Structure 1
Amino acid sequence: MTKTGIDRRALMQLTGMGLAALTTVSMAPGRAVAQSGAAWDKTFPQSETIDHEKVSFTNRYGITLSGDLYLPSDRSGPLPALAIAGPFGAVKEQSAGLYAQTMAERGYASIAFDPSFVGESGGMPRQVASPDINTEDFSAAVDYLGLHPEVDRERIGIIGICGFAGMALNAVAADKRVKAVATTSMYDMTRVMARGYDDAMTPEQRTQALTDMSRQRWTDAEAGTPALAGGLPETLDGVDNPVIRMYFDYYKTPRGFHERSVNSTTGWTVTNPLSFMNMPILTYIDQISPRPMLLIAGENAHSLYFSEDAFAAAAEPKELMVIPGADHVDLYDQTDIIPFDRLAEFFASHLA
């Protein structure tokens, strides 16, 4: 057990380590297609003051990404814009969409998108993640926003949630078009997969995890499809782990369940962590400067240390905002806890 009473083995499975670790449209690049008239399929109510449309665009690897674009109904362009994704294993109809719609209510053109290989976005096989490709996905969303006729391409920011917060910081370090970045409940997925929670993975455990996943590749190749690690339990019977119960309460209940969410359904592939374990994505976090960074985390979140360490490693200007009494998942959807006013102030100041 960790200092917060968390079972590392169970949590590694949820973040993509799997059993091996610790035991659509074809388009030319840069083009975007709008899909109007789609039924509301989100886990949050639709705002009456926002215009919404489903859109598609391609990333640098030719993968078609699916997004939900939210625009204030009462608008006069060009607008500041935000690209939003996360949490890790979620889809745009969950937390990212809530953030995008709420920020659109505050005057931003906001796009929530599904990363490559999950949700309605393209890429094969399914239910895998990549620190490189998913970082690129953010920049592809910036491509899309910068070509939108109602967006001021010189006023684009990014919001990353949970595991995609780390990818967001990595994207902004390289993509100098982005003027400001904010994260909530940040995970550094490369760190947690490479070292375990609280960096507690031993060298022997790491070697065993890589050995098991390496051999799993033969099994997958023979089967012709990658094995899935499995996700959250179907019930909480006999489950006393507080973090698993916390995730269950979001992903497996009407509060946040979505049929396309990795975390609500099958979980990631067993071999998903392979590309994460040797590729630390926050190596160049100091190169986000002089553009500003806002890191938001819950006081009671098991993931708080990721934001604290990222803040320590980053250069000014930077801000760490710790929300009293909040846990990790509270910042997914609890609108009375998520500091949307501070987010609006932050981006208003730095996307001016």
Structure 2
Amino acid sequence: MRRKVRNYILIVISMVTGTVSFAQTEIENPFGLVYRDAITENLPGKVNIQPVTYTLNGIEIAANVYTPANYDPDKKFPAIVVAHPNGGVKEQVAGLYAQLLAEQGYISITADAAYQGASGGTPRNVDIPHNRIEDIHGMADFIIQYEGVDSERIGLLGICGGGGYSLKAAQSDKRFRAVATLSMFNSGVVRRNGFRNSQVNTIQERLKKASDARAQEAAGGEVIYAADNAIPTEEAELAKIPYDLYREGYIYYGNTHKHPNSTFRYTMSSLLYLMTFDASTNMNLINQPLLMMAGSKADTYYMTDEAYRKVTNAKDKELFLIESATHIQTYYVPEYVSQAMEKLNVFFGKYINSEA
């Protein structure tokens, strides 16, 4: 399979002026991957990618398994489950980190959440915390049975919303021997209170809308969505967005790393579950080693900080700030990804990449 390259949309954001400029440089990838230096073909002696499907609670899940360059199914390798951000898919940042981990000798897996991406389930874009947590358990179920995986050396990396759900999954699932998060996002708290508590005055109003949406669905009516896919692309529009998370998120998901399966939409009725969820509760149940990473300039850092302070029983815990990075920049900017990977290599190397 030969490399196919076409122009990919690059965006350059000036840290000094705040201006945004676009240049055409698209990459067409046979596996649908949209991140830089993604695998384009499987070659002997290289990191390979294997698209797979499996059934979880009656729903077909679409996943990618990355195997290291020295992969031999007759040997035993440590494995890492990678959970993607809210609205994201396996071909974006989760795939990037899964590939980089495979380059370090791990078998890694990332899957589209049930009801999302290329995975099955209707109505589309249901976003219920229980489902997302179950997705993580399901990835562990699958990868533990994959040829060459050492079931005693399984790690977990959750990114953004996947980070919050990873914290919950690790509280009960002790198959995960070490747990890491990157730019953790506490989905329930934000859906309830708004980003940085900007919507606390409308909680009951939004719960009423969610309740009405549930009633309409139950009666066979049209599914109502809490967000649409209208992504601002003009510089003037982007400049009006007060938070880096959303401004840079629109650029990442809508332009530089756009994927047709990635969407901001979620069903309005999902709020019945999201608004009563908090990823940072019961943190005392995490007894595995825990690494939490966030950009030093991330406007989402408060979520990582709150969860981290509640960890009391972890075998070891560390908070690592990626110098000068915002939330979204940890997804793709090479120098920030390198910082995160250096820390992950040390962390997972200590706790799961040793048979001792």
TM-score over 0.5 for the alignment?
Answer: yes
The one-letter amino acid of 1:69's match is: V
For 2:38, give the aligned amino acid.
Q
**Aligned-partner SS, 2:268:** coil
Residue of 58, 80, 91 corresponding to 2:55:
58
Q: Which residue of 2 aligns with 1:26?
A: none
Asked whether 1:158 is paired with 2:162, we answer: no
Q: CA deviation at 1:122?
A: 1.3
What is the TM-score with the length of structure 2 in the denominator?
0.82
1:185 deviation in Å? 0.7
Matched, 1:328 2:330: no
2:81 to 62, 83, 86: 83
Q: Which stretch of structure 1 is more off in the superposition, 162-171 or 334-343?
A: 334-343
For 1:297, the equivalent position in structure 2 comes to 294
The offset of 1:235, in angstroms, is: 2.5
2:34 to 43, 46, 67: 43
Aligned to 1:22: none
Distance 1:134 1:159 in 2: 14
Amino acid at match of 2:67: L
**Counterparts of 1:240-279 in structure 2 under 5 Å?**
240-241=240-241, 242-243=243-244, 244-253=246-255, 255-263=256-264, 267-279=265-277
> Match for residue 74 of structure 1?
70
Q: What secondary structure is seen at the aligned counterpart in 2 of 1:283?
A: coil
Distance in 2, Cα, partners of 1:146 & 1:238: 46
Query: Structure 1 residue 350 and structure 2 residue 348: aligned?
Result: no
Comparing both chains, which one has the higher relative contact order based on Cα–Cα distances under 8 Å and sequence gaps of 6 or more? 1
Does structure 2 conserve the Cα–Cα contact (< 8 Å) formed by 1:135 and 1:171? yes
The structural deviation recorded for 1:199 is 3.4
SS in 2 for 1:337: helix
Q: Which amino acid aligns with 1:324?
A: E
Q: Is the 8 A contact 2:209 2:268 kept in 1?
A: no
**1:8 equivalent in structure 2:** none
Aligned pairs for 1:142-157 (under 5 A) are: 142-157=140-155
The aligned counterpart of 1:3 is: none
SS at match of 2:237: coil
Deviations 1:35-93 (A, max 9, x none): xxx9321002334621111011222x222211100001223420000011211100000
Q: Tell me which residue corresponds to 1:307.
A: 304
Is the 8 Å Cα contact of residues 65 and 121 (structure 1) preserved in structure 2? yes
SS in 2 for 1:73: coil
SS at match of 1:58: strand
Report the alpha carbon displacement of residue 335 of structure 1 after superposing the two structures with TM: 2.8
Question: Does 1:207 pair with 2:207?
Answer: no
In 1, the alpha carbon distance for the partners of 2:62 and 2:83 equals 11
Superposition deviation, residue 250 in structure 1: 0.3
Mapped to 1, the partners of 2:331 and 2:321 lie a distance apart of 15
Q: Which residue of 2 aligns with 1:337?
A: 336
Q: What whole-Å deviation, never above 9, does each CA across 1:145-175 have from its counterpart, x for those lacking one?
A: 1111210000001110001100011001110
> Alpha-carbon deviation of 1:293?
0.6
Spell out, residue by residue over 1:176-227, the C-alpha distance to the aligned partner (whole angstroms, 9 max, x if none): 111011111101111112222233543x411111112222334445663312
| AA at the equivalent of 2:300 | S
Structure 1 residue aligned with 2:117: 119
Q: Secondary structure of the equivalent of 1:336?
A: helix
User: In the alignment, residue 75 of structure 1 is paired with which amino acid?
Assistant: Y
CA separation in 1, counterparts of 2:215 and 2:307? Answer: 37
Partner of 2:224: helix, strand, or coil? Answer: coil
Quick one: distance in 2 between partners of 1:269 and 1:209? 13
Q: Secondary structure at the match of 2:192?
A: helix
Instruction: Provide the rounded CA distance (Å) in 1 between the counterparts of 2:284 and 2:38.
Output: 38
Instruction: Provide the rounded CA distance (Å) in 1 between the counterparts of 2:237 and 2:334.
Output: 31
1:237-278 alpha-carbon deviations (Å, 9 max, x no partner):
43421433211210111x210000013xxx222333221112
Task: Count residues in correspondence.
Answer: 308
Residue 11 of structure 2 corresponds to: none
Contact 1:57 1:140 in 2 (8 A): no
Structure 1: distance between partners of 2:231 and 2:117? 20
Q: What displacement does 1:141 show?
A: 0.6
Superposed CA deviations along residues 305-339 of structure 1, whole A, max 9, x for unmatched, are: 01001110012421111112100101112232122
Amino acid at match of 2:207: L
Deviation at 1:123, TM superposition (A): 1.3
Q: What RMSD, in angstroms, separates the aligned Cα atoms of the two structures?
A: 1.8
Query: Which ranges of 4 or more aligned residues in structure 1 deviate by more than 6 Å?
Result: none
| Paired AA for residue 307 in structure 1 | T
> CA–CA distance in 2 between the matches of 1:174 and 1:115?
19
Partner SS for 2:335: coil
* 1:286 paired residue number: 284
Answer whether contact 2:233 2:251 (CA < 8 A) is retained: no
Contact residue 72 and residue 109 of structure 1 kept, 8 A: yes
